[in-house]
Amino acid sequence: MSQRVGLGFDSHRIAPGGQLILGGCVIGEGMHFVGHSDADVLLHAITDGLLSAAGLPDIGELFPNTSEENRGRDSGEMLSIAMARVREAGYELINLDAVVQLERPKLAAMKSEIRTRIAEILAVDVSQVNIKGKTGEGIGEIGRGELATAMCVVLLQKKVSGTVLMD
């Protein structure tokens, strides 16, 4: 099997205070995602998608929220470690596609910065990273600005002798 697909998902509540960090970028002030780490919902979904595609343990197993070492941890660091494990398992990223559900702020003006930051963390070309933003249309926890979710699908390709196999 030379190609593998992984699916990642995450959700975090939104609370007053601090900075809203998404995709490794500060996208807002006065609100933050609630979690043990910096709670970057997008990077967590990407991390789980990568680990899933490579058949590795999930983010909760690698970075448990019961560990003080992970309190306030930078999700970009966790993603970088996960990508190193994916490469150690013999895979390279072909592409990833992610959807973020967040009522505000709107992501359109920030997508390029977020894509660039994710590509930097993963050490891939920005063309391999796609991000879409969706709102809750004012409905439910997402629509009321209480919750954000992210979903990511990842395609990996097995490497052989340092090169990526092409089907």
Could you list the pLDDT tens digit for every one of the 167 residues in the chain?
Answer: 599 999 999 999 999 999 999 999 999 999 999 987 788 999 999 999 999 999 999 988 887 777 667 565 688 999 999 999 999 999 999 999 999 999 999 999 999 999 999 999 999 999 999 999 999 999 999 999 999 999 999 999 998 765 555 55
In angstroms, rounded to a whole number, what is the distance separating the alpha carbons of residues 29 and 18? 6
**How many structural domains is the chain composed of?**
1
Give the pLDDT of residue 166.
52
In this structure, are residues 160 and 58 in contact, taking their beta carbons and an 8 Å threshold? no
CATH number for the domain that contains residue 70: 3.30.1330.50
Q: Whole-prediction pTM value?
A: 0.91
Torsion on CA atoms 23, 13, 155, 74, rounded to nearest 10: 40
- 84: its two tokens: 């190193």
Report the 10 Å Cβ neighbour count for 147.
20
Give the pLDDT of residue 136.
93
In angstroms, rounded to a whole number, what is the distance separating the alpha carbons of residues 81 and 47? 9
Domain that holds residue 28: 3-164
Give the pLDDT of residue 16.
95
Give the pLDDT of residue 60.
84
Give the pLDDT of residue 73.
62
